[in-house]
């Protein structure tokens, strides 16, 4: 209840301040009745409103994280948020990236991904999604530093043969959308994976990426270990819905996880640091949206991704990637 009141105050102050500022700033535009000018002014106002949503989302996350040692889908930030009055409307959606599989941990720089825990999780996930196991080879070749292709992958020789030609990146993925450039991922595979994977490290320069069992999708939970069935994964979801896990060791309290949970303690977490915030501002009939990925947990928030676009036509107007990416 305190979190909800705190957020209500934060977002009310932000929206009120910005709407007042916009009213003053654009007073002279009231008398301009051309359609082009109207859309430009409304678009600028909607953009400012969306930016206030990003700021408000961060403030809510910081408030929540300061009051508890875990993050979960039961938290206020995990619910869609909105605020409106006669001058505009603001909608905010926040999701945690730490509950997803980080694809940048699948393969080391030398490309020898066999034995890597993230690769094992990816293998099980791809199998559950009916995706080709060759995708792991292709991903390893895309991010590793050598030019020796895996059997199902491809290095520069393969990519240079495409039309238009381009080279293998030989560096970590910077966005999930970049997977569309990797052999075999474009189309249906990327769409199936989009909500289940991430590329943003929870902790800068960390060698591995623990997965938050309080926010991980069912498919990721089922891929954490070979012994976890879909039914067992559902038990995790049911238990965290009523009582979020407050420590990694709490997983052992779920029926069937007495032994499995012990082996996963160093591979899971109950609190994430990286969040994707989508905020849409609407003024009259014009909308602008901003999607940002931000890392919290230290001093100032660190933005890892920023994109502004018009939701109706999905045409990006500004893109910055990545800001502060380690």
Residue whose C-alpha is closest to residue 35's, from 284, 280, 314, 288: 284
Structure confidence at residue 155 (pLDDT): 97
The pLDDT profile of the chain, 326 residues, written as one tens digit per residue, is 555 566 666 666 566 656 544 554 454 454 445 555 667 888 899 999 999 999 999 999 999 999 999 999 999 999 999 998 888 999 999 999 999 999 999 999 999 999 999 999 999 999 999 999 999 999 999 999 999 999 999 999 999 999 999 999 999 999 999 999 999 999 999 999 999 999 999 988 777 889 999 999 999 999 999 999 999 999 999 999 999 999 999 999 999 999 999 999 999 999 999 999 999 999 988 999 999 999 998 789 999 999 999 986 443 434 444 333 23
User: 3-state secondary structure string, the chain?
Assistant: CHHHHHHHHHHHHHHHHHHHHHHHHCHHHHHCCCHHHHHHHHHHHHHHHHHHHHHHHHHHHHHHHHHCCCCCCCCHHHCCEEEEECCEEEEEEEEEHHHCEEHHHCCCCCCCCCCCHHHHHHHHHHHHCCCCCHHHHHHHHHHCCCCCCCCCCCCHHHHCCCCCCCCCCCCCCCCHHHHHHCCCCCCHHHHHHCCCEECCCCCCCCCCCCEECCCCCHHHHHCCCCCCCHHHHHHHHHHHHHCCCCCHHHHHHCCCCCCHHHHHHHHEECCCCEEEEEEEEEECCEEEEEEEEEECCCCCCEEEEEEEEECCCCEEEEEECCCCCC
């Amino acid at each position: 209840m305190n979190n909800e009141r705190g957020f209500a105050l934060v977002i009310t102050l932000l929206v009120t301040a910005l709407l007042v500022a916009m009213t003053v700033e654009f007073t002279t535009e009231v008398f301009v009745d051309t359609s082009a000018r109207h859309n430009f002014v409304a678009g600028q106002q909607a953009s400012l409103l969306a930016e206030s949503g990003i700021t408000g989302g961060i403030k809510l996350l910081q408030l929540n994280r300061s009051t508890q040692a875990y993050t979960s889908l039961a938290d206020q930030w995990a619910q869609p948020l909105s605020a409106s009055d006669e001058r505009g409307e603001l909608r905010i959606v926040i999701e945690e990236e730490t509950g997803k599989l980080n694809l940048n941990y699948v393969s080391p720089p030398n490309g020898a991904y066999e034995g890597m825990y993230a690769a094992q999780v990816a293998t099980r996930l791809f199998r559950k999604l009916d995706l080709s196991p060759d995708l792991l080879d292709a991903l390893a070749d895309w991010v590793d530093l050598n030019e020796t292709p895996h059997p199902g992958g491809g290095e520069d020789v393969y990519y240079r043969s495409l039309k238009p030609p381009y080279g293998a990146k030989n560096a970590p993925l910077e966005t999930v959308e970049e997977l569309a450039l990797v052999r075999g991922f474009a189309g249906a595979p990327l769409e199936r994976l989009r909500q289940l994977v991430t590329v943003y490290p929870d902790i800068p320069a960390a060698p591995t990426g623990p997965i938050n069992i309080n926010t991980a999708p069912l498919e990721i939970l089922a891929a954490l270990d070979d012994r976890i069935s879909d039914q067992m994964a559902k038990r995790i979801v049911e238990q965290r819905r009523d009582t979020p896990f407050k420590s990694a060791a709490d997983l052992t309290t779920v029926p069937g996880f007495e032994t499995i949970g012990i082996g996963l303690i160093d591979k899971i977490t109950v609190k994430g640091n990286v969040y994707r915030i989508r905020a849409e501002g609407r003024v009259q009939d014009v909308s602008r949206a901003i999607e940002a990925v931000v890392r919290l947990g230290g001093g100032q928030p660190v933005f890892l991704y920023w994109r502004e676009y018009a939701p109706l036509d999905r045409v990006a107007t500004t893109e910055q990637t990545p800001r502060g990416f380690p």
